[in-house]
Structure 1
Amino acid sequence: MTGDDANDGAGDAGRPRGRRSTALRAAGLTLTGALVLGIAAAGWAYWHLNSNIKSVDINSALGADRPPRAVTAPPGATASPLPTGSLNILVLGSDSRSGKENQALGGGNSEGARSDTAMVVHLDAGRTKATVVSIPRDTLVTRPSCPLPSGGSTAVAYNAMFNSAYSVGGPACAVKTVESLTDVRMDHYIEIDFSGFTKLVNALGGVTVTTDEDIADDDSHLTLKAGTHHLDGKQALALARTRHGIGDGSDLGRIGLQQKLVKSLLEQIAATDLLTDPTELYQVADSVTASLTTDTGLDSLTELISLGQSLKGLSAGQVRTVTMPVVPAPSDPNRVVAEQPEASDLWKSLR
């Protein structure tokens, strides 16, 4: 073998090593780039979802003149990274958002804000059982003096419609009126608008609801025969708003439909394995966060995820739906007032 032959052999041996080294470097750069892009995308998604959420500082607005906070841990509870104590959350469905989508769905603007739906969600200690109490919007209440976002406060109003609290003073007044009515501390506040509710139902693939009677409501534009129906978001919203097409046309009939819808939505969420489909999970999260106004204790994705994870042991079958006991108001047969002592007994059980 000559010197030239030896050099040629060394060159041949060196070239494959160079190609492999170049290929490995390229693969490493590609993997690093993908990882950086993935982290950036995840960071952007988190920032986007976080920035979707609007919040109101209820605690600062209402101060210390409120029912005591009752956070009770379940018997034998051990230290847990997730909250396990009992919790009361005021959930409002409103048409308070201005915008083309909400207006197309029948929502009002920010000056004509109304709370169409009001539910107190009580989570038992341990978070494996829940009670959802609906408050009829036609209930006559004593509306307390409420702080206004612009400063000052509203006057006390007697025999006021319950849903006027939101119209007059926004979320803080809605919370204060509920606490005055129930003597139960609202630990959190969640509000969802028409457009967001519609998008949420659509993101979940619709919701299946069984109605006991035919529905024909010109106001909500919903026509359904009695039976089981799979509804899209717009139809589900119409069902939640239906009032005049069922029963005696009172708010109590609408509440019955809303409670069926809540149960059906919980079952649909439980049946949808969002964790196996990141795209679907993001779509649902985007729909939910874009539609939410919360108190400052729930105004981040981290806090909402923590609340959601704490409810992993809660099934739809363990959620009880009831309506605050009411009777016709003596002053107006088209309005109702809390029935006593039944209403007080109900609220006492949630403290």
Structure 2
Amino acid sequence: MPALLGTLVVVTGLAIGLGTWQVAGVAEDVDRIGAALPAEGGRPDVPPAAQQALTFLVVGVDPADEETRATRAEAVLLVRLTGDREHVQVVSFPLDTWVGGWGSTLEGAFGSGGPQGVVQAAETLTDVRIDHYAELDFSGLATVTDALGGITVDVPEPYSSRGHDFAPGPQQMDGAEAVAFVRDAGPETRAAAPARQQRVVQALFRSIEAQGAFSDLGRLADLLDSMTGALRVDDPLADGDLVAIAWEFRGAHTLEFVSAPVGGPGTEGGRPVQYLDGGRAGLLWEYLRNDALAGHLSEFR
């Protein structure tokens, strides 16, 4: 879920306006990650049809995992701004997606190789070139939720996590509750994580729009300032680049969600994993590579 909030910042949050002092100030506060992207050799090519598209890998992290005392990936998403700048597409993956050509899951690739490892694994899995990397921790989700005065999330079924119980139907959540809702209560709840993430992000967008933040530069800047300390992006993405990308995203206030097609569970090295449906996933990656997913979204819903 923090990954999705990274999407919120990069895709719409920074869209305050080209060259305004608010964007410049926010961009300067965003931390950078060195060597987040792999070296050029062996990376996917970009077909002519997708030359104008922008693709982010957005990873949500828990920097204070109680068991390992290490930063742990909690969500992995591919975010595409289409070349015509009319669509923002978000492909969510199960963390335990098996990447055969990498010999690990997406979660494992992050654990062993950090940002560069998970970018390489995602490119190996999809053959889609990743332009930029963004990472956000759980504090960003809690902070922006509280800055909005809470959000109303439509809970599909009863759920309990981290001492919080959520009944079905619209539920008002503060920051701590939103974090608990998107976190897995246990291994058996991982399959439903993408759906929970999507519902929280949709609630965030509804709240931001209802408060007029997309058209209120000061209000949006305040929201951004409340969470930039939890956001990191790849080092080549300079302050000016963030501003320019914000301008590119200025008209895209709606996210189009797609879940990577799952074929079924399995075991690798004694650990449970999720295998993708090779046929349907291959078709999804082909559409993304050629920037043609907008006309085929219904095939994956």
Q: What TM-score, normalized to structure 2?
A: 0.78
Distance change (3 Å), C-alpha of 1:73 and 1:139: closer
Partner in structure 2 of residue 113 of structure 1: 71
Question: 1 CA distance for matches of 2:164 and 2:156?
Answer: 15
Distance change (3 Å), C-alpha of 1:59 and 1:235: closer
Deviation of 1:304 after TM superposition, in Å, equals 2.6
Partner in structure 2 of residue 345 of structure 1: 283
Question: CA-to-partner distance for each residue in 1:12-45, whole Å, 9 max, x for gaps?
Answer: xxxxxxxxxxxxxxxxxxxxxxxxxxxxxx97x7
> Which runs of structure 2 are paired with 1:1-351 in the superposition (5 Å)?
49-58=26-35, 61-70=38-47, 72=49, 85-96=52-63, 103=64, 107=65, 112-142=70-100, 144=102, 158=103, 160-217=104-161, 220-244=162-186, 249-274=188-213, 275-276=215-216, 278=218, 280-300=219-239, 302-316=240-254, 319-329=256-266, 334-351=272-289
Deviation of 1:212 after TM superposition, in Å, equals 1.3
Cα RMSD for the two superposed structures: 2.9
Partner in structure 1 of residue 5 of structure 2: none
Contact in 2 for aligned 1:62/1:176 (Cα 8 Å):
no
Specify the structure having the higher radius of gyration (Cα).
1
RCO higher in structure (CA 8 A, sep ≥6): 2
Deviation of 1:70 after TM superposition, in Å, equals 4.9
Contact in 2 for aligned 1:143/1:162 (Cα 8 Å):
no
Distance change (3 Å), C-alpha of 1:71 and 1:90: farther
Task: Report the AA paired with residue 189 of structure 1.
Answer: Y
Question: CA-to-partner distance for each residue in 1:122-179, whole Å, 9 max, x for gaps?
Answer: 22222222221111112222464xxxxxxxxxxxxx2x23201111111111101100
Question: 2 CA distance for matches of 1:197 and 1:177?
Answer: 26
Distance change (3 Å), C-alpha of 1:306 and 1:202: farther
User: 1:345 aligns to what SS in structure 2?
Assistant: helix
User: 1:137 aligns to what SS in structure 2?
Assistant: coil
Question: 2 CA distance for matches of 1:73 and 1:340?
Answer: 22
User: 1:185 aligns to what SS in structure 2?
Assistant: coil
* Structure 1 segments unaligned to the other structure (5+ residues): 1-41, 75-84, 97-102, 145-157
Deviation of 1:46 after TM superposition, in Å, equals 7.0
Contact in 2 for aligned 1:133/1:324 (Cα 8 Å):
no
Q: What TM-score, normalized to structure 1?
A: 0.67
User: 2:188 aligns to what SS in structure 1?
Assistant: coil
Deviation of 1:315 after TM superposition, in Å, equals 3.4
Question: CA-to-partner distance for each residue in 1:65-108, whole Å, 9 max, x for gaps?
Answer: 2111357579xxxxxxxxxx322111110013xxxxxx5xxx45
Deviation of 1:47 after TM superposition, in Å, equals 7.2
Deviation of 1:111 after TM superposition, in Å, equals 5.7
Contact in 2 for aligned 1:243/1:253 (Cα 8 Å):
no
Question: 2 CA distance for matches of 1:135 and 1:240?
Answer: 14
Question: 2 CA distance for matches of 1:71 and 1:205?
Answer: 45
Among the aligned pairs, what percent are the same residue? 27
Distance change (3 Å), C-alpha of 1:269 and 1:65: farther
Contact in 1 for aligned 2:37/2:133 (Cα 8 Å):
no
User: 2:123 aligns to what SS in structure 1?
Assistant: helix
Name the count of aligned residue pairs. Answer: 268
Question: 1 CA distance for matches of 2:80 and 2:23?
Answer: 29
Question: 1 CA distance for matches of 2:243 and 2:124?
Answer: 30
